[in-house]
Amino acid sequence: MATFEITTRSVKGDLKTDTMILNMGPQHPSTHGVLRLELVVDGEVIVDVIPHIGYLHRCFEKHAEQMTNYQQVIPYVDRMDYVAAMGNELAYVLAVEKLLGIEVPERVQYIRVIMAELQRIASHLLAIGTYGLDLGAFTPFLWCFREREKILDLFEITCGARLLYNYIWVGGVSHDLPSEFGKKLKDFLKTFPKALKEINDLLTFNKIFIDRTANVGVLPADVAINYGCSGPMLRGSGVKFDLRKNEPYLVYDRFEFDIPVGEGKMGTVGDCWDRYYVRVREMEESLKIIEQAWEQLPPGDVHSAIPKKVRPPQGEVYFRTENPRGEIGFYIISDGHSASPFRVKARAPSFVNLSVLPEISRGYMIADLVAILGSVDIVLGEVDR
Amino acid sequence: MQANEIYERIKSKFEDAIVEFKADAIVEPYLEVKADRVKDVCEFLRDDPELAFDYLMCLSGVDYGNGTLGVVYHIYSMKHGHRFVLKVKVPIDNPVVQSVESIWKSANWHEREAYDMFGIIFEGHPDLRRILMPYDWPEGSYPLRKDFQVPEFYNGMKVPY
């Protein structure tokens, strides 16, 4: 900015200096889908960012009202955050179960925990892989995908699907774990820490990567809370808040794990590197949870609590869980007599996290915006619903 | 703090703004306040040190189907770890609610969404325009209202095509 002023002063006569408007997206590789950012730039420096969303709007909430029953909403929920579909199903199903007031068997709860945590690892692998890709590191992406593939294989042998599962049902899960699941899971648990170390050596502590991400896009804790940020966005800013600990659901209160928070190790607390590193460390914690859950997994029937009819009493519920991207919440209103919800509102973590983008990208370069946007880790399917 | 204690605290300050407190609602108790006082109530909820509701979890628009629109606020306190549900109801022919954007910035996009889908006007919102629907969506057409009719044509294309 300073150099800009000097050059204009040195030019004699009237030189018009003005900001410029630049469109980024909707088909820009670093926007991870169809997001359009209207940038107001002063040379290379960002003065303001105006996000335009809605290109992937599929009327989820309207669909949910028009279904013939509550269970039919689950496949639609899958398609919100399509790289973490298990987490979405879990949040929706738990909300409906809370409204119904039913308890599910212990085995189902443990299976749900294992699935949700595997999904968290898979989702974070995708997030950090594509983040490296955004910043010009191609190799870590392939290594992340190699590991993610193993998790998708686990999902595939369990429910037949690799991306959109329709696995977690109201009152249970669609299939019990197959007999070969345990062996494959143990293989994964054994090899994954080594792979994580490789990714760390390759990307996390890479000098170029640190230079691109440290001290960039700093989000102070109070701003993060005021903007409703959640998940790694909030924890990257140093706020120790995780719904698995603060509002435990399922059987999360039985496991020992830490909540990683941003410490400003490479720069300032709440910068892009902190958000990135929170994700890396969360994968280690998820691994711990899976190990414990697998050891404690009780026997039982996974279909015994599935209700024949889902007709919740008149009332409403807001239930939230910790998805890989943050707090996903479902606000469901039941009118008491029909078999489909009267109103469903999905509070998507990416939608809320994205709204803070203008706040944290002002004053940085356009190239930094790519790093900032990648560190927010949005999924447009969830932003637009 | 439990919901009824929070209610008592609000009642002592804003008795005239309260419409109804439903303590036995399934699953959570809620408090309904007047639409033109909601900002004051929310400001108190955030700034009172005993309540300290600093986190707006969710803001949802609702069409109750009987000529009433509503806005539901789910709020949470990071400091104390308690939550509360606040509601306002407005008639469909004059759906004006005070904006809480200046209190919780996360309300900005949520309010835009409620405007987009239900046509609720948030007074004092800095940038109230459509967010998810296209910008050329017909004015006065709000898709999540219960009386919404799917238009026969959209931009000259037949629906369903």
**ipTM metric:** 0.90
pLDDT at A1: 39
- Token pair, residue B78, equals 């990071």
Query: Is 50 exceeded by the pLDDT of residue B84?
Result: yes
B105: chain A residues, CB-CB within 8 Å: 223, 226-228, 355-356, 359
B106: chain A residues, CB-CB within 8 Å: 226-228, 352, 355
- Token pair, residue A10, equals 């040195």
Other beta carbons within 10 Å of A192 = 20
Q: Residue A219 and residue B88: Cα distance in Å, rounded?
A: 32
- Token pair, residue A86, equals 């298990």
* Angle at alpha carbon of residue A298, lines to A294 and A302, rounded to 5°: 105
Compute the half-sphere exposure of residue A211: CA atoms within 13 Å on the CB side of its CA: 4
The two beta strands, B55-63 and B68-76, are antiparallel
Q: For residue A232, give the nearest of A16, A83, A18, A378 by alpha carbon.
A: A378
Q: Residue B37 and residue B42: Cα distance in Å, rounded?
A: 9
Contact in structure between A336 and A359 (CB atoms under 8 Å):
no
Encode chain A (385 residues) as per-residue pLDDT tens digits. Answer: 344 444 444 445 566 678 888 888 787 766 677 888 899 988 888 888 999 988 888 888 888 888 888 888 999 999 888 889 999 999 999 999 988 888 899 899 999 999 999 999 999 999 999 998 888 888 888 989 999 999 999 999 998 888 899 899 998 898 889 989 989 999 999 999 998 998 888 888 888 889 888 888 889 998 999 998 999 999 999 898 999 888 888 889 899 899 999 888 888 888 899 999 999 999 999 999 999 999 998 988 888 888 888 888 888 899 999 999 999 999 999 988 888 889 999 999 999 999 999 989 888 888 888 889 888 888 888 888 8
Residue A325, judged by CB atoms within 10 A of its CB (0-12, 13-18, 19+), counts as buried
User: How far is A291 from chain B, CA to nearest CA, in Å?
Assistant: 29
Q: Domain B3-158: give its CATH code.
A: 3.30.460.80
Contact in structure between A310 and A170 (CB atoms under 8 Å):
yes
Compute the half-sphere exposure of residue A44: CA atoms within 13 Å on the CB side of its CA: 8
Q: Residue A90 and residue A77: Cα distance in Å, rounded?
A: 10
The dihedral built from the CA positions of residue A90, A94, A97 and A103, taken in this order, carries a sign that is positive
Q: Confidence class of residue B59 from pLDDT cuts 50, 70 and 90?
A: very high
Contact in structure between A102 and A309 (CB atoms under 8 Å):
no
Question: Can you tell me which residue has the tokens 């989820």?
Answer: A60
Quote helix, strand, coil % in chain A, to nearest 5: 50, 10, 35
- What residue ranges define each of the domains in chain A, with the CATH number in brackets? 60-383 (1.10.645.10)
Q: For residue A257, give the nearest of A240, A237, A234 by alpha carbon.
A: A240
Q: Residue A92 and residue A101: Cα distance in Å, rounded?
A: 14
User: How far is B12 from chain A, CA to nearest CA, in Å?
Assistant: 26
SS3 label, residue A37: strand
Sorted by sequence, the CB contacts under 8 Å of residue B131 that are 6+ apart come out as A53, A54, B109, B112, B113, B115, B116
**Does B57 touch chain A if contact means CB atoms closer than 8 Å?**
yes
User: How far is A277 from chain B, CA to nearest CA, in Å?
Assistant: 23
Contact in structure between A173 and A250 (CB atoms under 8 Å):
no
- Token pair, residue A98, equals 């809370």
- Give the end-to-end CA distance of chain A in Å, rounded to a whole number: 39
Chain A with chain B: Cβ pairs closer than 8 A: 85
Q: Residue B33 and residue B89: Cα distance in Å, rounded?
A: 8
Query: Is 70 exceeded by the pLDDT of residue B116?
Result: yes
Sorted by sequence, the CB contacts under 8 Å of residue B149 that are 6+ apart come out as none
Q: Residue A145 and residue A33: Cα distance in Å, rounded?
A: 18
SS3 label, residue B90: strand
Residue of B nearest to A335 (CA): B64
Compute the half-sphere exposure of residue A216: CA atoms within 13 Å on the CB side of its CA: 24
pLDDT at A2: 41
pLDDT at B3: 82
Q: Residue A307 and residue A305: Cα distance in Å, rounded?
A: 6
* Angle at alpha carbon of residue A125, lines to A119 and A127, rounded to 5°: 100
Residue A21 forms beta bridges with which residues?
Answer: A40
Question: Can you tell me which residue has the tokens 């900001």?
Answer: A19
User: How far is A55 from chain B, CA to nearest CA, in Å?
Assistant: 8
Residue of A nearest to B72 (CA): A331
Residue A93 forms beta bridges with which residues?
Answer: none
Could you write out the DSSP letters of every residue in A245-275?
Answer: HHS--TTGGGS---------SSSSTTSHHHH
Residue of B nearest to A343 (CA): B62
Question: Chain-centre distance of CA A107, in angstroms?
Answer: 26
Q: For residue A267, give the nearest of A312, A218, A327 by alpha carbon.
A: A218
Contact in structure between A224 and A234 (CB atoms under 8 Å):
yes
Counting every residue, how long is chain B? 161
Asked, as a colleague might, if the bond just before A248 is cis with ω within 30 of 0, I would say: no
- Single-letter amino acid, residue A177: L
Exposure string of A218-245, with b = 16+ CB inside 10 Å and e = fewer, is bbebebbbbbbbbbbbbbbbbbebbbbe
CB contact under 8 A, B26 and A345: no
Q: Confidence class of residue B17 from pLDDT cuts 50, 70 and 90?
A: confident
- Token pair, residue A331, equals 């606000």
CB contact under 8 A, B85 and A318: yes
Q: State residue B120 phi and psi, 5-degree precision.
A: -80, 125
- Give the end-to-end CA distance of chain B in Å, rounded to a whole number: 54
Considering only the beta carbons, identify the residue of A223, A241, A331 that sits closest to B60.
A331
